[in-house]
Amino acid sequence: MTCSALYRLSISRLSLQDVWGELFLLQAAYWPVDILVVAKHIEEEGKILPRRVVSVIMECRQLQLDLLERSLLETIILARKGEQKII
């Protein structure tokens, strides 16, 4: 692997490290399994899902994005660098 290829790979990894949480929440909002039901079970075990996480998932659902719109939003999230995080 060349130096420039390694550099591009490391930049890609750094970018993904910065936005993985946003991408996860966006996808979790549209999973076939209701993540909020899973969260209630987690709370019953004494662990609390932060209210902000629940709020973000609900906001994502309210957008009612189709598959293409979600893909475009993922691309925007991945492409923006140095911008203030949405979440």
Q: What is the mean pLDDT of residues 71-76?
A: 88
Distance CA(25)–CA(54), nearest Å, equals 9
Comparing 67 with 51, which gets the higher pLDDT? 67
* SS percent in the chain: helix, strand, coil, step 5: 70, 0, 30
Distance CA(27)–CA(84), nearest Å, equals 20
Q: Residue type at 39? A: A
Which pLDDT belongs to residue 62? 93
Q: What is the pLDDT of residues 2-22, one digit of tens each?
A: 655 554 555 555 566 778 888
